[in-house]
Amino acid sequence: MNKVIGTDVSRKDGRAKVTGTATYAAEHQIPGLVHGYLVTASIANGQIKSIDTGAAEKAVGVIDVFTHKNLPKVFMPTNDFVSSKIYEARLPLSDDKIHYAGQIIGLVVADTFERARDAAHLVKVEYATQKPVVEAAKATFKEPPQMGEESKFEKGNFATGVASATTKLTATYKTSTEMHAPMEPHAIIAHWQDANSLTVYEPSQWVLGSQRTYAELFGLPSERVRIVTPFLGGAFGCKALPWPHGILCAAAARKLQRPLRVVLSRRQMTANSGHRSETEQTMRLGATADGILTAIAHEAKSCTSPVEVYAEPCTGVTPVMYTAPNLQLKQELAVLNIGTPTFMRGPGENPGMWALESAMDELSWMLKIDPVELRLKNEAKEHQRKDLPFSAKHFADCLRVGAEQFGWKDRPKQPRSLTRDGKLVGWGMAASTFPGLRGKASVKVRLLSDGTAHLLTAGNDMGTGAYTVVAATAAEALGLPVEGIHVELGDSLLPDGGLAGGSKMTASLVPAVMAACEQVLKTANAKTAKEAFVTLGESGRAAIEATASSAPDDEAKKWAFQSWGAHFCEVSVDEEIGRLRVTRWVSVMDIGRVINSKTAASQVRGGVIMGIGQALMEECHLDPNIGYPVVYDLATYHFPTHADIPRIEVFFVGEPDLNFNPAGVRGVGEIGITGVSAAIANAVYHATGKRIRDLPITPDKLL
């Protein structure tokens, strides 16, 4: 048997990325390419009284200047996440209103990037300014208008449940605004072959979704739009849908009938490519003296922009984690004059687990029960909102294996009782979770006469390892070495591979790859690809091919699908200078079958690193007067570097989740970040006796 699945397979795309042959959106070379540079608002709330583009239009090399006065026709798409979806419900340059600082108000097109940028600074704008609301503390919160009943849930009677508890906890936990800062900036090249045929080179997590959306935006049949995204330089949720700059670029390119490139600056990205909203969450727990939960209440607040309703769904984790007969959930949202927030690795689950797992740790100290034991006592056996049992759950194994690998039994039972080299040392842990999501995906397999197999799908790889996972799955199914598998991704001309988001790409693609490989062998009347190659050689044909699809079935009505994990960490704290370092880390994950242990562990490590950034340094403050972020590039926005990160040990437990899909595999892209910040804060409490409930944990909070 050709055993490939579950082994360490090196990345298929690794060589292309390290040698520079991987082509990203802004790097495509097209004859006649011209360049656009955005003009953005310098106020956060108001109206454009006048906009003078005269000087910009006369500047050397300038081809055209677009504002709300002369934008070519763009149609509003269905915007329903089925037919199409855009990040902001307001189309760019659709009127003279200003909703947030940095909002796009114009586009200058010139023959070089430098000339476009210089001319953009010549555009003069006069505003009628209104006082913006940019601070959550001064905003009005209410139920999200588009979430309906999802913003509230109640089981049992919380008041009765908490009244019967012998131990009660009420605490509020906050997270800061986090910026999307992928290595590849947001960029697009729009190339119209004629007035009714568009090719878009853009980093897109959802190739066929973008195709349908751009088609609707410009009144075209989908087959007249091609999206090309072979590589993404990081995405994490901010490159799933078209942003206003992309729509504007395509509209301007159509008017000019010239291929047009627009690349956002880091400053422009702070307002125009999404962020994770700040959150405020209040947890109320009630428990018996022996640690059985009687009641849980989870209330969450987040912020959105005036041009889109996006609520950070923090309370979604609560019904899946711990059983309580009385459960109450509530979500509220405030509108601020800020850029639009959006999905960011573990949206909802990440900040939700920060609050829930911090509260569980606090409760464990109050009860004098080990935090691992408290979680084992109360783990949920079913999804308390869906009333469905979990399909395959090994959360208890995650806790036990993590505790053993970390040496948790040796943890001192009192805060401030462990020191090393004159510094306080603390141990902390937290659970981790993310739903098992899956979509429809299609894959084409071609067996070629040269003895290789080609796998083709519009599904793509935003750095999570899809190239490698597809190759490994096909190699085992066909009986070929991984080196003999060639994978093509990220082009709308290929079969629909679905969305690279929600940790669903692997879970969606792998069953489709298996089905396509089975079909191509059936077509060739062969048991292995080597037999098929013989048939191919005898036939004189160049290739044998087959296409297959896979999609969720009725099992979703019988089971709740969820992945589980546990983090254990050690921190050191130098109280004299408030210096906090994470010095040791163990993560254990239950994600069903592991297709590639190498890339899966890498995904967990990446999530942990992002979580450490959230816990220790990432935050974005806004200037209260103009609403602009006071951080504006990779130098002023603090995120982890190698020096901040310890060795991260990753282990996998569990079994294939065959109720979920025929491959038994669930996603791993996002679960690694959930619970990380709570584990660190819990370790800080063990080290110092200080309970930090407001992220990030900066030195001033430790002094």
For a pLDDT cut of 70, what percent of the chain falls above it? 99
Is the pLDDT at 374 greater than 80, yes or no? yes
Please state the φ and ψ torsions of residue 435, each to the nearest 5 degrees.
-65, 150
314 is a domain residue: no
pLDDT digits (tens, 9 = 90+) for 649-698: 999 999 999 999 999 999 999 999 999 999 999 999 999 999 999 999 99
For residue range 631-647, what is the model confidence (pLDDT) as tens digits?
Answer: 888 899 999 999 999 99
Q: Give pLDDT, residue 338.
A: 96
* In-domain check, residue 94: yes
Residue 359 and residue 410 in one domain? yes
Q: Are 394 and 450 within one domain?
A: no
Q: How confident is the model at residue 555 (pLDDT cuts 50, 70, 90)?
A: confident
Query: Is the predicted pLDDT of residue 1 greater than 80, yes or no?
Result: no
Residues 537 and 646 in one domain: no
- Of the given ranges (6-10, 504-508, 651-655), which has the lowest mean pLDDT? 6-10
Q: Are 192 and 453 in contact (CB under 8 A)?
A: no
Domain contains 300: no
| Residues 79/89, Cβ–Cβ less than 8 Å | yes
Question: What is the domain extent for residue 265?
Answer: 32-130+184-235+239-271
Q: Which residues make beta-bridge pairs with 282?
A: 172, 299
Q: What is the CATH number of the domain that holds 267?
A: 3.90.1170.50
Asked whether residue 331 is assigned to any structural domain, the reply reads no
pLDDT number for residue 625: 84
What confidence tens digit (pLDDT) does each residue in 179-201 have?
999 999 999 999 999 999 999 99
Q: How many domains does the chain have?
A: 3
How far CA 316 is from CA of 153, 332, 349, 363, in Å, comes to 10, 13, 7, 21
Q: Evaluate if residue 148 carries a pLDDT over 60.
A: no
Do 456 and 386 fall into the same domain? Answer: no
Q: How much is the pLDDT for 624? A: 86
The Cβ of residue 520 has, within 10 Å, a number of other Cβ atoms equal to 26
Q: Please indicate, yes or no, whether residues 420 and 459 belong to a single structural domain of this protein.
A: no
Active-site amino acid positions? 670
User: 101 Cβ partners below 8 Å, 6+ apart?
Assistant: 40, 41, 42, 43, 44, 132, 271, 337, 623, 626, 627, 628
Same domain, 50 and 199: yes
Bridge pairing between strands 293-304 and 326-335: parallel
Indicate if 613 and 680 belong to the same structural domain: yes
User: Please, which pLDDT band fits residue 540 given cuts at 50, 70 and 90?
Assistant: confident
CATH number at residue 452: 3.30.365.10
Kindly state whether residues 471 and 508 are assigned to the same domain. yes
pLDDT at 17: 93
Q: Is the same domain home to 75 and 197?
A: yes
Does residue 75 fall inside a structural domain? yes
- Which H or E run includes 252? helix 244-256
Question: Mean of the per-residue pLDDT values for the chain?
Answer: 96
450 with 427, same domain: the answer is no
Residue 156 lies in a domain: no
Domain end marker among 523, 551, 579 = 551
pLDDT of residue 679: 99
527 and 599 both lie in a single domain: no
pTM: 0.97
pLDDT bracket for residue 587 (50, 70, 90): very high
Q: Are 360 and 505 in a shared domain?
A: no
pLDDT at 147: 66
Peptide bond into 696 cis (omega under 30): yes
